[in-house]
Amino acid sequence: MNINTLQVMNSLYNLGLTEAEFRAITDEISHTERTGFSIKAIKGDKVVGVSHDDKESIIINDLDEFGKFDLKPNTRILLKTLVQLEELPERIYDLHRICKYRSMDIEIKNVADSLDELKLKICERFSDKYDKVLLADDGYWQEHSGYDLEKKEKAKKTRKEKIIEQLKAVYWLFNEPFDFEFKETPKNIAVIRKVFSEKNIRVAIIQEIEEFEKRCGAFYDSRLETCEGIKVRVRTFKPSDKRYDYVCEGREIYSDEYGEKELWITDELKSKLSDKELAFLVKRIERNHYRILTKELYEMEKDSLRVEIMTARRKSIEQKNQNTLISEIKKQFKEGSLVRQGITITPDSFSYEGIKISGTKTQDFIAFENIPVRTNLDFQNLVISYIEYLVEKSREFDYFGNGLQEINFKGKADVGIGNIAIHIERIRAKKQKYGGVFYVNKIRVRTEEVCEIIVRL
């Protein structure tokens, strides 16, 4: 609720809020840089406060909802902790933003009577398994959206300044002078820029220059833009983590595009691997896992890695050649036909040694099977495949893994095999949705034999 609604509630329920308390609440709302829940007044069994994490909303809660803790006016709740201090340094609010808000953060589980106790709670929040991305949402997409380059550049600059302020808060937390510098790093490779140590826990500040493609614009005017920006995150490591001994300034970390796999690169391999090698190596890691890439491990895998890269390159070249072939085939079809392995192919027929196959859905079949670009054509297999395609033959498996064949054809079709004209028809009763009786050239045949009979003709 807003201040006007609070005045109405005060009068309606006789809360007894004084003018001084109203002024204190109004002043608290104006501090948009703050976070958490500020307790401003306790009236009977009601607590009146301001939730900065809920758009500066005034909230009235029952005193029982806060448990058996001794609540007092002008105290705060941050990180599930009742902070018994009237004034807090602004850096605390920056740190709270980095830690990210959680549901039920207003629920009290701890009490902090001093700033050092509150700092300890913040360190504990840093110690969970999730990275803390600085300003992950605030202005992040503004610097990557729209045609206005000046606006995007301004958003990037503003966001960088805010990141610096949050970084200063992290340095303040560990009582160290601020000396962080943004440095050029290889694109999409994260680098540890600073490491703090606190009670056997290592806290790393990791910088990355992201480069990715993003679709921008409206539906009717969409386009792909190459976006580039700085990403900074905080991550903690405990001695039980195998990466703990590798957490040091300058360490390079390569991730897949979804950030689900990580390759930690040791010093002897730093800046010595190509982007392709890194991309193929990270594919070998299981999802949500990491791998420490030592020189010994690389020596064991480099031969298979080379073959894998070579195979991918060969497939790429073959695809380019196939695209060229498709282009040539289209030109040949303009002249009427083309010949592949002795089989003459037109847009709606194929023939071999005078036997021509044409009929219903022949053109669809040629496109579906991509016949013009195949290099292992066999005429007899083509005929069988065409008939099976025409009658919509399929094979499925039941619950027990038994193979079941289905013929889903309905209606009529005509096929020409050489000089033989074949008419296929499946007749169903008026209300019959499935099945039906097959006729080939007006002779009734069993459904499971229809393909074999047509080919024999």
In the chain, where are the structural domains located? 3-114, 132-299, 336-456
d(CA 145, CA 251): 32
What stretches in the chain show pLDDT beneath 70?
56, 100-104, 136-148, 211-228, 310, 314, 317-332, 334-335, 395-405, 433
d(CA 209, CA 188): 6
Nearest to 251 by CA among 235, 233, 267: 267
Q: What is the pTM of this model?
A: 0.63
Are the beta carbons of 231 and 221 closer than 8 angstroms?
no
pLDDT at 409: 87
The two beta strands, 443-445 and 411-417, are: unpaired
Nearest to 277 by CA among 246, 301, 295, 257: 301
d(CA 86, CA 75): 6
The identity of residue 225, as a single letter, is E
Instruction: Look up tokens 């089989």; give the residue.
Output: 343
d(CA 37, CA 65): 14
pLDDT at 399: 44
Beta bridge partners of 285: none
DSSP secondary structure letter of residue 360: T
Structure tokens at 54: 């809920």
Beta bridge partners of 412: 425
Are the beta carbons of 423 and 414 closer than 8 angstroms?
yes
Nearest to 247 by CA among 201, 308, 216: 201
d(CA 82, CA 233): 27
> Which residues lie below 8 Å from residue 60, measured CB to CB, with a gap of 6+?
1, 6, 9, 15, 46, 47, 48
Nearest to 16 by CA among 50, 51, 49, 41: 41
Structure tokens at 344: 């003459």
pLDDT at 352: 93
Structure tokens at 24: 């204190």
Q: Which whole-number Å values give the CA distances from 343 to 149, 281, 404, in the listed order?
A: 57, 44, 33
* Tens-place pLDDT, residues 317-360: 666 665 665 566 666 676 678 888 889 998 889 999 989 999 99
d(CA 101, CA 99): 7
d(CA 362, CA 371): 11
The identity of residue 210, as a single letter, is E
* Tens-place pLDDT, residues 260-282: 889 999 999 988 888 888 988 99
